[in-house]
Structure 1
Amino acid sequence: MAAPSRRQTRSPLQVRLAESVLSPGGWFATLDDFHRWLAETASLTYMNVRRVPLNGLSGWEVERHTGNLRHRTGKFFSVEGLDVHVPGRVVSHWSQPIINQPEIGILGILVKEIDGIPHCLMQAKREPGNHNGLQLSPTVQATRSNYTRVHRGRPVPYLDHFLDTSGHEVIADIRQSEQGAWFYRKRNRNMIVEITGKIEVAEGFCWLTLGQLHTLMSVPDLVNMDARTVLACMPFSGAGLTPAPTSALSAEPGDAFRAALVRSCDPDETGPHTMGEVLSWITDMRTRTDLHVRLTPLDEVRGWRRTDETISHETGRYFDVIGVSVEAGGREVGRWDQPMLEPSGTGVIAFLVGEIGGVLHALVHARVEPGYADVVELGPTVQCTPESYDHLPAGARPPFLDEVLGAGPERVRFETILSEEGGRFHRARNRYLIVYTDEAAGIDHPEYRWLSVSQLGELLRHSFYLNIQARSLLFCLTSLTSLTGTATTTPVPLAAR
């Protein structure tokens, strides 16, 4: 009889991932070692970003009859106008600039067992819009124009592992959306691929356990948006985390919140809504929402002021379209210009969470954004920049915003500032919060539902159900399953900023 293969003799994937969650060390014995590595990596790379006029961007052109901003190759992305009409809403009609990037890029993380513990291959990468320069990104983070080398730059490291997955185990492979308020129907392929053979670790890359990544989630502006959206796609379950008297992976005694969270990861635990009811609710919201969206010339957007330098809203709110010139070391290309969106203010991204039948649930919002491919995606309980509502009618203010902003410290289970996509957005940052409520059973709103972590994970097996903010926040929530927790923020060494 043939000996069983390595794949056949390994523990189930969910148990192995739990072991990685609960592992405080690995390729880096401690996170102090990681921070020293990050500081050294920062010293070997650089990126200089300066503001330049929109009308003077090298390699970009303003279309004569539309005013749209396009790259001279016709690749990468364009900045165009969008006209939006949502009858029946407090704000029912507006127009705005939006990024149109029809290419489907690849966001991929390689996973490999090191000393029996799954590790994720992460890259320390600079982006022109990053608040602090160097951030942890996926193994591969590339648009189609990047990886087909339209820019004539160097090849993308490790790309072949995602273009040809034969011989590897594909843990996740899903098309997902990005910010529906700033991108027009943008999609990326989110992939997690496990490899078993030897692989060289290139400069600027490192292996981290899920437990280490969970702890690093509390560090402001460190784990980038693209890494968060891929990590959220891990098939996480309660297996290996469920309390058991003899298990090394059991919950800490007396930690009621973590115990409720671990139960929430278990697909066998029940909640107020079945998956069939949840899917029917989403379909109903998509069917009943009357959304009319059309691309228009950028010159025709109403309420926006355009100069040679920038495009900005007449109120000074929302965002500006700016131009930047970039010089970089350690990138596929050493110099380029591009337009970017620069948000006004720091946003708030929050889940209200509470126990229903002893199982932790998160309150999700069936959210309408003009750039979604299918009208509605589930977002966090709160997703907004509060200052943007100061000049709007009172009815436009998001439900639950005041409850989140007014929550005392004893209710806040997670809080940090995280950056959004630094390749298209200039210093876009959000305050990510998980706020506990004792009144979960009493909250009932037609556009909101209470879902368990397991249910959110089930939705993530498919495209366009959870928006990118909810995916980021879901990874923040699952990070609280680590025994080390993420309550204490680990400072980033100055050299890495």
Structure 2
Amino acid sequence: MVNGTRTGGHGTRSGGNEPCTGGDGPRAGANGPRTSANRAGTDAGFDAWFAERARVNEQRVETIPFSALSGWDFDPATGDLRHHTGRFFSVRGLHVRPAGPGGPPGWSQPIIDQPEIGVLGILARTFDGVRHFLLQAKAEPGNINGVQLSPTVQATRSNYTRVHRGGSVRYLEHFTDRRGRVLVDVLQSEQGSWFLRKRNRNMVVEVDDDPPVHDDFRWFTLDEIRALLHRDNLVNMDARTVLSCLPPEHPADEHGALHSLTEVTGWFTEAKTRCEMTAEVVPLTGITGWRRTPTEIASEDGGRFRVIAVDVTAPHREVPAWTQPMLAPCAQGLAALLYRTIGGVPHFLVQAQAQEGCLDKLEIGPTVTRVPGEHGGLPADMRSPFRDVLDSLSPDRIRYDRVQSEEGGRFFAAETRYVIAELDEDFPTEVPSRFCWATPGQLKELLRHSHYVNIEARTLVACAEALA
């Protein structure tokens, strides 16, 4: 058990019972953090403010036995790990057949079931003719470094309806009451290998008034935020997904695109009709290949991920102390987007990616992914054939290479290495049927709608825009 483990500032976790580690390649990319002429993104004023918020919002996170959880228990009939209110989330079992009935036997796993829809909202306001966005320095128990930049509002329905009997969520009324001009309002999925059909409401609302700004909040221009995306583990997953959904600065022009938007959506629809994967919720006691001990639920092969319990002390949160289960990945993830210029127009190589927890079986994902928790027994036609291409690229082809944290409220020390790399112009345009070339403008158009672009690809869209 980790005793007295603290998170905060830019430190890392310490203790004897860390999540198992691993991963792909270096933590930092070939390109260093970009500089920015904009003040808040890179100057000492931002760093001093952020360090102070990390100090003030320091939290203590300890791993504990399941028996020490308060308000959580294993259901005697199913073994599912639930909160006594029936709210928040639960840990259930899932049985997956990658090729449907009659195909390979598939696998079983735990999965987080959080059916309620939360709010991820960023407040916008124009100062001196430049649009700014209000971000929050927020501590989450699973964050690798304690505090990260999050949306103005990042709250589950259970939290903002105060099931926990804690404090209210600042600025929530701008999103629930739609106080202002709505720039973005779309349901988007989250990690399909760890969540069961999870969705959150991604919103950006622009206001004309000047709301009071709490010390944990700060206005940023879009350029400043994009500069910060060139730092590891700073802009959190929830902020990245909302930013990816912002309307494009310039309307998409399909002139020069290899495929029309209609053809891209047709390709994706066809892929969904061909996907035979089935995922059935089963009792947690009924999953095979996993063992439960007093302190964890872990796969018998020692890989993938674990379910653990933590005790959190965070004096400046709506609730100053609580316990909860968390999913702890056993390796660093990888998500890579390859692109090339076709007819003078950049095109991303995307895939129709099946994930067991997706509401509609699959969504559009990056060219290459390795998700901790993704079952190693996937059929060959569900694995990316472009991993070797990525590994063979010279460093001068790597345009973005950073490690970013995944959602720290449910995942413990979860990181993904995000890579954007440029292919030679003679790279074949003919690709396997599960893949398709799409322009940045076409992906932005699809992001106006739900259940098209998955969470890893949305992060890469936000990072690609930081390269402009």
TM-score by length of 2: 0.88
Query: Conserved in 2, the CA contact under 8 Å of 1:317 and 1:344?
Result: yes
Q: Does 1:346 align with 2:332?
A: yes
For structure 2, the 5+ residue unaligned runs are: 1-34
Amino acid at match of 2:447: L
Distance in 1 (CA, whole Å) between partners of 2:282 and 2:402 is: 37
Q: Does 1:279 align with 2:291?
A: no
Query: SS of the residue aligned with 1:424?
Result: coil
Q: What is the 5 A alignment of 1:256-405?
A: 266-385=252-371, 397-405=383-391
Q: What is the 5 A alignment of 1:36-115?
A: 36-87=48-99, 93-115=106-128
Q: How many residues align?
A: 433
Deviates further, 284-293 or 412-421? 284-293
Distance in 2 (CA, whole Å) between partners of 1:341 and 1:177 is: 18
Query: Conserved in 2, the CA contact under 8 Å of 1:23 and 1:209?
Result: no
Q: How many angstroms does 1:92 deviate by?
A: 5.5
Give per-residue Cα distances to partners, 1:55-80, cap 9 Å, x unaligned: 33111011001110000111000000
Give per-residue Cα distances to partners, 1:235-275, cap 9 Å, x unaligned: 01336xxxxxxxxxxxxxxxxxxxxxxxxxx4243311111
Query: Conserved in 2, the CA contact under 8 Å of 1:355 and 1:440?
Result: no
Q: How many angstroms does 1:131 deviate by?
A: 0.5
Q: How many angstroms does 1:31 deviate by?
A: 3.0
Query: Conserved in 1, the CA contact under 8 Å of 2:36 and 2:227?
Result: no
Distance in 1 (CA, whole Å) between partners of 2:103 and 2:296 is: 29
Query: Conserved in 2, the CA contact under 8 Å of 1:53 and 1:309?
Result: yes
Amino acid at match of 1:456: L
Q: What is the 5 A alignment of 1:424-439?
A: 424-438=410-424, 439=426
Q: Which residue number in structure 2 is paired with residue 35 of structure 1?
A: 47
Aligned with residue 214 of structure 1, among 216, 221, 226? 226
Q: How many angstroms does 1:342 deviate by?
A: 0.6
Query: SS of the residue aligned with 1:129?
Result: coil
Distance in 2 (CA, whole Å) between partners of 1:113 and 1:91 is: 55
Q: What is the 5 A alignment of 1:125-274?
A: 125-166=138-179, 168-238=180-250, 266-274=252-260
Q: Does 1:464 align with 2:430?
A: no
Distance in 2 (CA, whole Å) between partners of 1:271 and 1:237 is: 18
Q: How many angstroms does 1:387 deviate by?
A: 11
Q: How many angstroms does 1:32 deviate by?
A: 2.4
Distance 1:271-1:30 versus aligned 2 partners, 3 A rule: same
Distance in 2 (CA, whole Å) between partners of 1:140 and 1:360 is: 34
Give per-residue Cα distances to partners, 1:111-145, cap 9 Å, x unaligned: 11112110110000110000011100000000000
Query: SS of the residue aligned with 1:352?
Result: strand
Amino acid at match of 1:138: P
Distance in 2 (CA, whole Å) between partners of 1:281 and 1:92 is: 28
Give per-residue Cα distances to partners, 1:443-494, cap 9 Å, x unaligned: 411000111110000000100000000000110001111xxxxxxxxxxxxx
Amino acid at match of 2:94: L
Distance in 1 (CA, whole Å) between partners of 2:108 and 2:78 is: 15
Distance in 1 (CA, whole Å) between partners of 2:116 and 2:43 is: 36
Q: How many angstroms does 1:330 deviate by?
A: 1.4
Distance in 1 (CA, whole Å) between partners of 2:41 and 2:89 is: 41
Distance in 2 (CA, whole Å) between partners of 1:390 and 1:180 is: 15
Q: Which residue number in structure 2 is paired with residue 410 of structure 1?
A: 396
Distance in 2 (CA, whole Å) between partners of 1:376 and 1:387 is: 16
Query: Conserved in 1, the CA contact under 8 Å of 2:72 and 2:324?
Result: yes
Amino acid at match of 1:364: V
Query: SS of the residue aligned with 2:301?
Result: coil
Distance 1:90-1:224 versus aligned 2 partners, 3 A rule: farther
Give 4+ residue runs of structure 1 displaced > 2 Å after superposition: 22-26, 28-32, 88-92, 266-270, 385-398, 439-443
Query: Conserved in 2, the CA contact under 8 Å of 1:90 and 1:395?
Result: no
Query: Conserved in 2, the CA contact under 8 Å of 1:389 and 1:396?
Result: no
Aligned with residue 119 of structure 1, among 113, 120, 132? 132
Distance in 2 (CA, whole Å) between partners of 1:53 and 1:147 is: 28
Q: How many angstroms does 1:388 deviate by?
A: 7.2
Distance 1:402-1:268 versus aligned 2 partners, 3 A rule: closer
Which is higher, the Rg of structure 1 or of structure 2? Answer: 1
Query: Conserved in 2, the CA contact under 8 Å of 1:324 and 1:339?
Result: yes
Distance in 2 (CA, whole Å) between partners of 1:311 and 1:274 is: 46
Amino acid at match of 1:145: S
Query: Conserved in 2, the CA contact under 8 Å of 1:317 and 1:388?
Result: no
Q: How many angstroms does 1:36 deviate by?
A: 1.1
- When you count helix as a share of all residues, which structure comes out higher? 1
Query: Conserved in 1, the CA contact under 8 Å of 2:193 and 2:373?
Result: no
Distance in 2 (CA, whole Å) between partners of 1:473 and 1:155 is: 32
Query: SS of the residue aligned with 1:480?
Result: coil
Distance in 2 (CA, whole Å) between partners of 1:144 and 1:386 is: 27
Query: SS of the residue aligned with 2:466?
Result: helix
Query: SS of the residue aligned with 2:314?
Result: strand
Amino acid at match of 2:369: Q
Distance 1:310-1:38 versus aligned 2 partners, 3 A rule: same
Distance 1:90-1:272 versus aligned 2 partners, 3 A rule: farther
Q: How many angstroms does 1:98 deviate by?
A: 0.1
Give per-residue Cα distances to partners, 1:364-423, cap 9 Å, x unaligned: 110111111111200000110589788888777531112213322111000110000000
Give per-residue Cα distances to partners, 1:36-55, cap 9 Å, x unaligned: 11011112121100101123
For structure 1, the 5+ residue unaligned runs are: 1-21, 240-265, 482-497
Deviates further, 106-115 or 81-90? 81-90
Query: Conserved in 2, the CA contact under 8 Å of 1:366 and 1:376?
Result: yes
